[in-house]
Amino acid sequence: MKIIQVNAIPLSMPIAPGEHRTWWGDYPSISIVLVEVVTDEGIKGYGEGLARYCPQSYAMLVEKLLAPQYIGKDPFEVESLWQRAFRSHSGKSGGMLMEAISAIDIALWDIMGKALNQPIHRLLGTCGRTEVDAYASSISWNAEDKAAEQVEAATRQGFKMIKVKLGAPADDAIAWCRKVRDMVRPDIKLCADANFAYSLDEAIKVANALHELDFYWFEEPLIPEDIDGYKRLRTASPMMIVAGESEHTSFGARELIASRSVGMIQPDCTRAGGITETRKIANTAYAFNVGYAPHIGGGGAVSAAANLQLSAAMPNFVIFESMIFPSALRDELATEPVGSIDLKTGKVNVPQGPGLGIELDFDVVDRLRSKG
């Protein structure tokens, strides 16, 4: 089997005000890059790369820089192809390059699963999970009416844990967490995501308050580059610290894990080099008794499916992020819902079909194709 085409399709959609608000502000839209890899045997694989801004630039990167590295190659040589793409740009790799590689890599795994008529998690050596625990993500920052609406929706759907977005300054974040704590039933866990809003001193202050309010974890309080800050925070904080969605490689995540700065690592396979590299991050965490809880964020249906396949296979998997704001990229891009909680079981089902286990709706693909 040989790869004969690598096609990139930028997709985007608007988001209603307040639906996805962090301390940076409202996200007016979300976007991804969808990649189609075609083989000479007629098997097509699909992958997704996180492309929050300018998805057209990701499509150009895929087709102009990366596609020539894959054309004519065997898709089962996924590791050597990953290494080849990883070195296609000199210097330290990260950002757009790794997110673009992620999309192609996921598509290769989709092809392998389809060729062997097996879901990806079985190719990885599955832990046998057909469903996984999940939490609702995320309650919008400092928007009381919207937050109450989101909490009610998450509770109605049966989530047992809900994540709330935080912002700066620290005193406002603490007051906000008290409000959200009062909105939520006492039997439901809460966790908090700061999107690196704080200095070390502020983070310690917020961590102590979250501990008093019985929050379960404190996510990304510091900028991802501040590894020494994370080490100091872990020592000073009574809270479990989690991070890692901003890491693009196992090299980048290594010190965060090995230093025990985090209790869980949160790579997203649509930005951390696809399934090939994200598996390495999760396995590195396993070696240090650190949990794995994938990031989903603004990802689409392919992201949800790929991260679920990894969740079913990794021995240190803890919990899956299920986004609560409406998204056609996630809710309509596949012909069947993926990544949403099952109202009967209170869990998220792992797709069991070949490859990613999903079928795309190409009418929706055409409707969401980014024209800008």
Helix 274-287 and helix 250-258, axial crossing angle in degrees, nearest 10? 20
Confidence of residue 93 (pLDDT cuts 50, 70, 90): low
Is-contact 361 369, C-beta < 8 A? no
Range 318-322 average pLDDT: 97
Confidence of residue 160 (pLDDT cuts 50, 70, 90): very high
Is the pLDDT at 250 greater than 80? The verdict is yes
Architecture in CATH of 123-362: Alpha-Beta Barrel (3.20)
Residue 264: strand pairing partners: 242, 291
pLDDT tens per residue across span 164-190: 999 999 999 999 999 999 999 999 999
Percent of the chain with pLDDT over 70: 98
Q: Which two tokens stand for residue 328?
A: 């056609």
pLDDT tens per residue across span 187-235: 999 999 999 999 999 999 999 999 999 999 999 999 999 999 999 999 9
Confidence of residue 88 (pLDDT cuts 50, 70, 90): confident
Which pLDDT value is given to residue 372?
62
Q: Which two tokens stand for residue 222?
A: 């510091």
DSSP characters for 167-229? -SSHHHHHHHHHHHHHHS-TTSEEEEE-SS---HHHHHHHHHHHHHTTEEEEE--S-TT-HHH
Confidence of residue 336 (pLDDT cuts 50, 70, 90): very high
pLDDT tens per residue across span 272-294: 999 999 999 999 999 999 999 99
Residue type, 353: G
Nearest Cα to 169, choosing from 136, 215, 209? 209
Which pLDDT value is given to residue 343?
87
> Which fold does the domain 3-117+363-368 belong to in CATH?
Enolase-like; domain 1 (3.30.390)
Tokens 């189609």 locate to: 36
CA angle at 34 for the pair 107 and 154, rounded to the nearest 5°: 100
Which pLDDT value is given to residue 92?
63
How far apart CA 115 and CA 93 sit, in angstroms, is: 31
Is the pLDDT at 100 greater than 70? The verdict is yes
Is the pLDDT at 326 greater than 70? The verdict is yes
Q: Which two tokens stand for residue 199?
A: 């200095």
Is the pLDDT at 85 greater than 90? The verdict is yes
Is the pLDDT at 264 greater than 70? The verdict is yes
Domain boundaries of the chain, sorted by first residue = 3-117+363-368, 123-362
Q: Which residue has the higher pLDDT, 372 or 50?
A: 50
For the chain, counts of helices (H) and of strands (E): 14, 15
Supply φ then ψ for residue 278, to 5 degrees.
-65, -35
Lowest mean pLDDT among 33-42, 66-75, 278-287, 341-350: 341-350
Q: Where are the alpha helices (DSSP H) in the chain?
A: 55-60, 67-70, 78-86, 95-116, 120-123, 144-157, 170-183, 200-212, 227-236, 250-258, 274-287, 301-313, 328-331, 362-368
Which pLDDT value is given to residue 90?
60
Range 18-47 average pLDDT: 93
Nearest Cα to 214, choosing from 247, 194, 185, 251? 185
Is the pLDDT at 52 greater than 70? The verdict is yes
Q: Give the 3-state secondary structure percentages of the chain, helix then strand then coil, rounded to 5.
A: 40, 20, 40
Range 290-300 average pLDDT: 96
